[in-house]
DNA sequence: GGTCCTTTAGTGGTCTGATCACTTTGAAAC
DNA sequence: GTTTCAAAGTGATCAGACCACTAAAGGACC
């Protein structure tokens, strides 16, 4: 177990590599095949390794969505604060939008624009599934920004975080897109973010992104009383207690 | 395997509960004890259960540090550049320092101050293990900031990220603390960050933190040519290629 | 009566060896 | 040349045994 993870982290085993047969590996590591299999199955659970029947054991490249599934199971077991998760998202996105200003290609910007157009269309209607589509388009816009950074780590963290938010607080998130006046405010801010990115003005982009999360926080706070998190200018919590 | 996770997610099994003995459970689920153990060990890897020798199998509440270990292993397999990881750190810390301004207690601030004092002491000497101690004190200072936010998710992500940086780029990181003039620049910035946090001035704190990472990036760039990452004002990379 | 030690039952940890199931490969049959 | 099928290599699972650890019951000693 320890052996395999350290081998992988040291880079001696790389995604796609095939491990030696179980029987052989067990002899080398001086453990029984049963014990080795316990470790392999455990690593398979983490998606570090894939056991293919009749073929062998392969080192795999964990996909972000797989990671967020694991995260979901784990965090669903602890008293996670949605505000905490949301704050992590704010942190990632406010910096991501700066990197986007530097690295976004024309294609990236087109993708963001399409997402906003889709969001606009949803805003006109007010059907029952309105929130669903709006949330999707919103997510597409923000994903486009993060992915345009070209930073694999940020993308990875972001997808894990948003996966969590989606699963755990889906209803509350959707409700944001059912509140009438939120559309106007959000769409305006979105447009200005895109504008700033296109102008490669990262200070402005970051400032508007921060403002964006403030707007969300305020809308949620106003309409739900509890749906608040600590974004940049919004401070629902007092100082922590010593301890 | 499927059985246990669904039982847990459904809430029928709760943290602290003890499962039936392996032999008994294996009979009930119609699998051999070996197969059951493979599943249990896999779940143990996710920290969903804990196998206590001589006692039994217990459902556990995952601890953040264990999660971040797993997370770190997974991230380490992503094709990320060290600049990418560093940028994620910048993102987390620049927002964390804002939250620190709101939530840090007197104890938190004392802890930061002690870390800086320790850092000062290291600066005076110039032994061979100087870099080691300096890096440790530096890490303590930054950890204190992130932990003072009271945001479990941020702490979690931060420890995963820094764990990665430490493991994968230890030497380069240490070298920063062996460069003579870096001490002066870094210590000054550290002091000003602490000052801003104590004054609860989050805009200033965030600005100085950003500057801090700029300083690091510039020092590394100057002394190593390659040790650069994209911090807020420092832009080593051109626009991404359309892909 | 109380304290300490030993024993014992219950449990996870590991090992061994066998058998089943899946995949690929290459030889044989056509 | 194509198809068929048998064999080799591999993971999947099983059964049974024994080891190691823990806690509680029981007895020995003070």
3-state secondary structure of A150: coil
- CB neighbours of residue A233 within 10 Å: 14
- CB neighbours of residue A67 within 10 Å: 22
Of A91, A89, A112, A117, residue with least CA distance to A101:
A112
- A57: which strand partners? A51
pTM: 0.71
What tens digit of pLDDT does each residue of B7-64 get? 655 556 777 888 889 999 899 888 899 999 988 888 888 778 889 998 999 987 666 5
Q: What is the pLDDT of residue B231?
A: 45
Detail the protein residues whose CB sits closer than 7 A to any atom belonging to strand C: A 30-35, 38, 52-55; B 19, 21-24, 33-34, 37, 40, 51-57
- Winning range, highest mean pLDDT, from A20-29, A205-214, B98-107: B98-107
* In chain A, residues 6-25 whose CB comes closer than 8 Å to chain B: 8-9, 15
CA–CA gap between residue A159 and residue A176 (Å, rounded) = 20
Nearest Cα of chain A lies from the Cα of B67 at a distance, in angstroms, of: 8
Q: What is the pLDDT of residue A193?
A: 96
Q: How far is the CA of A45 from the C1' of D16 (A)?
A: 28
Quote the percentage of chain B above a pLDDT of 90.
Answer: 30
Q: How many residues does chain B have?
A: 243
| Residue partners of B181: CB distance under 8 A and separation at least 6 | B219
CA–CA gap between residue B185 and residue A4 (Å, rounded) = 41
Q: How many residues does chain A have?
A: 243
Contact flag B152-A46 (C-beta cutoff 8 Å): no
Collect all residues of chain A within an 8 Å Cβ-Cβ radius of residue B96.
91
Q: How far is the CA of A55 from the C1' of D8 (A)?
A: 12
Collect all residues of chain B within an 8 Å Cβ-Cβ radius of residue A94.
91, 94-95
- Winning range, highest mean pLDDT, from A154-158, B119-123, B166-170: A154-158
- Of residues B194 and A54, more confidence is placed in B194
Please name the residue of chain A whose CA is at the shortest distance from the CA of residue B152: A84
Strand extents, DSSP E, A24-103 = 49-52, 56-59
- Residues B84-91 have a mean pLDDT of 90
H or E element in which residue B51 lies? strand B49-52
Provide φ and ψ at A100, rounded to 5°: -60, -40
Give the pair of three-digit tokens for residue B78: 């992503």
**Helical ranges in A64-168 per DSSP H:** 64-75, 82-103, 106-124, 130-148, 152-168
- Give yes or no for residue A72 having a pLDDT over 70: no
Of B235, B147, B137, residue with least CA distance to B186:
B137
3-state secondary structure of A18: strand
- CB neighbours of residue B201 within 10 Å: 14
* In chain B, residues 45-64 whose CB comes closer than 8 Å to chain A: 45-48, 61-62
- Residues A88-95 have a mean pLDDT of 94
Q: What is the pLDDT of residue A171?
A: 59
- Residues B165-181 have a mean pLDDT of 63
Contact flag B44-A42 (C-beta cutoff 8 Å): yes
Contact flag A37-B38 (C-beta cutoff 8 Å): yes
């Amino acid at each position: 177990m320890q052996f395999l993870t350290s081998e992988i982290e040291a880079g001696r085993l790389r995604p796609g590599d095939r491990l030696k047969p179980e029987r052989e590996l067990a002899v080398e590591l001086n453990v029984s095949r049963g014990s080795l299999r316990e470790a392999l199955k455990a690593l398979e659970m983490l998606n570090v390794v894939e056991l293919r029947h009749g073929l062998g054991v392969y080192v795999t490249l964990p996909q972000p969505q797989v990671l967020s599934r694991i995260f979901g199971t784990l965090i669903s077991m602890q008293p996670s604060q949605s505000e905490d998760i949301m704050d992590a998202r704010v942190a990632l996105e406010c910096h991501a939008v700066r990197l986007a200003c530097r690295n976004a290609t024309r294609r990236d910007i087109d993708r963001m624009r399409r997402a906003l157009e889709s969001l606009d269309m949803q805003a006109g209607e007010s059907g029952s599934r309105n929130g669903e589509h709006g949330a999707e388009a919103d997510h597409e816009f923000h994903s486009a920004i993060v992915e345009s950074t070209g930073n694999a780590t940020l993308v990875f963290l972001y997808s894990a975080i948003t996966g969590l938010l989606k699963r755990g607080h889906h209803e509350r998130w959707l409700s944001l897109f059912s509140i009438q006046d939120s559309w106007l405010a959000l769409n305006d801010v979105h447009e200005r973010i895109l504008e700033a990115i296109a102008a490669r003005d990262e200070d402005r982009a970051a400032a508007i992104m921060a403002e964006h999360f403030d707007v969300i926080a305020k809308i949620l706070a106003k309409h739900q009383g509890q749906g608040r998190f600590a974004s940049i200018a919004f401070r629902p919590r007092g100082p922590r207690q010593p301890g």
